Amino acid sequence: MSRADLIVSLVKAGSEGDQQLLRTTVEAMAAEERAKQHHQLADRLVQNLGEGKARPRSPEVVRSYDGGHGGLLYEIEPRRTLDSLFLADAVRAACGELIEEQHRRDLLRSYSLEPRHRLLLSGAPGNGKTSLAEALAHELMTPLFVVRYEAVIGSFLGETSGRLKRLFDFVRTHQCVLFFDEFDTLGKERGDTHETGEIKRVVSSLLLQIDALPSHVVVVTATNHAELLDRAVWRRFQLRLEMSAPTEAQKEKWFVRLQEKLGTPLGMAPKTLAAKLPAVNFSDLEQFCEDIQRRYVLALPNANLKQIVSERLKQWRSRFTVDQST
C-alpha cells in the first residue's frame, strides 16, 4: 500500500475509532519501515500499538535483525533462486503468479484486492519444499523465518497457543516469508480421537492466527503427510501445490547442468546416468552431484571424471539396495 493510502487509513481509523483498521495500518507501516532498514522507527510504531501503552515484548521471539537465534523463529538467508529449481510447470507458473502479485500489490489494492500469500506444499521428503520456500523469499527480497517447533510447543496447558500468538505478533510487522516445515506437527486433524483437547485448541488458534495475517506476510507450509492435516487447514491456503519426485527428463537436465558447471564431459551421457542412478528425490540428486564435485576437486589436476562418476554411481546403487532392504 502506498504511503498516502496508509496515512488516509490511519486518519480514518482514528476518526472512526476502528481499532482493527488502526492495527492493520500500523503493522503495514512498520513492515515498510523494516524493509527500508528503519528498525528503530518500526519498533517505536509497534511499541505504541495497542490499548494506550506499549505491548510487552517476549524474549522468546527472535529479532532476526539483531542477530538472535534462540527464540521461536530462526532466519535463513535466501540463496536459491526460482530458476535454479527443477519444478513442474504448474508449480512454477503458480509461484510466478504469487511473486507478481506480491510485487504489484499496490496496483491490486487500488482495486480493493489483496495478493495471495498462503501456500501449502505437500509431497514426499526431499522434493524441494524447503528449497521452494527459500526461493520465494529470494525472489520477494524478504527474510525467510522458519518456525522452531521445539521452542513453540510447550508442555503446559495453554503454553503453545500463547507462544503462537507471540510468534504471529512478531511476523505481522515484517515483510517476510514465514515457513512451517512438517506442518502436520501443528495442523493435525481435530477429529483424531488420539489427540488431546489441548492439541485441538492449538489447531484452532493456529488457523485463526493464519487467517489474521496481513498479505505482506507470505505463509508457506510444508507437509509430508497431507492426510494428517485438519480439513479446515486446506481451505485456508489459496495455493495448494504437490511437489513431485524428479522425472527422468528432470534428472537428465540436472546432469546436463552439472556437466556445464564442471566444464568437462562426465564420461557418461546425462541421459544414461539419469537412467542408472536410483535417485528417488531431488535431495538424492543434489547429494550425488555434490559427491562427484568433491571427489573431482580433490583429484585435481589429474582428475579422471569418468572414473569418479562410475565409482560414485556404484556406491550410490549399493546404498540404494541397502535402503530398500531395511
pLDDT of residue 165: 86
Q: How far is CA 267 from the centre of its chain?
A: 37
Q: Which residues contact 272 (CB under 8 A, 6 or more apart)?
A: none
CA dist., res. 220 & res. 180, Å (int): 6
| In contact, 243 and 123? CB cutoff 8 Å | yes
pLDDT tens for the 326 residues of the chain, in order: 567 777 877 777 676 666 777 877 888 888 888 888 888 888 888 777 754 433 333 333 434 433 333 378 988 889 999 999 999 999 999 999 999 999 999 999 999 999 999 999 999 999 999 999 999 999 999 999 999 888 888 766 577 888 888 889 889 989 999 999 988 877 665 555 445 566 677 778 888 899 999 999 999 999 998 888 878 788 889 999 999 999 999 999 999 999 999 999 999 999 999 999 988 899 999 999 999 999 999 999 999 999 999 999 999 988 877 665 55
Residue 60 is inside which H or E element, if any?
none
> Grid coordinates in use for 171?
511476523
User: Residue ranges per domain, the chain?
Assistant: 1-56, 57-242, 248-325
Cα dihedral 302, 306, 309, 315 in deg (nearest 10): -90
pLDDT of residue 134: 96
pLDDT of residue 127: 95
Tracing cell 552439472 back to the chain, one arrives at 258
Given its phi and psi angles, is residue 193 left (phi above 0), alpha (psi -120 to 50 degrees) or beta?
Answer: alpha
Tracing cell 488502526 back to the chain, one arrives at 22
CA dist., res. 226 & res. 94, Å (int): 19
Q: How far is CA 13 from the centre of its chain?
A: 33
CA dist., res. 199 & res. 127, Å (int): 29
Helix (H, G, I), strand (E, B) or coil at 176: strand
- In order, the DSSP letters of 251-270 are HHHHHHHHHHHHTS--SS-H
pLDDT of residue 250: 95
Q: How far apart are the first and last CA of the chain?
A: 55
pLDDT of residue 53: 39
pLDDT of residue 221: 95
Helix (H, G, I), strand (E, B) or coil at 223: strand
* Identity of the amino acid at 178: L
Could you tell me the pTM of the whole model? 0.76
* Identity of the amino acid at 221: T
Residue 73 is inside which H or E element, if any?
strand 73-76
Helix (H, G, I), strand (E, B) or coil at 115: coil
| In contact, 179 and 147? CB cutoff 8 Å | yes
> Grid coordinates in use for 30?
512498520
CA dist., res. 303 & res. 309, Å (int): 11
Tracing cell 507501516 back to the chain, one arrives at 29
Closest-CA residue to 183 (of 230, 137, 247): 230
- Top CATH class of 57-242 equals alpha beta
Report angle CA 253, 259, 260 to the nearest 5 degrees.
Answer: 90
Cα dihedral 221, 226, 231, 232 in deg (nearest 10): 0
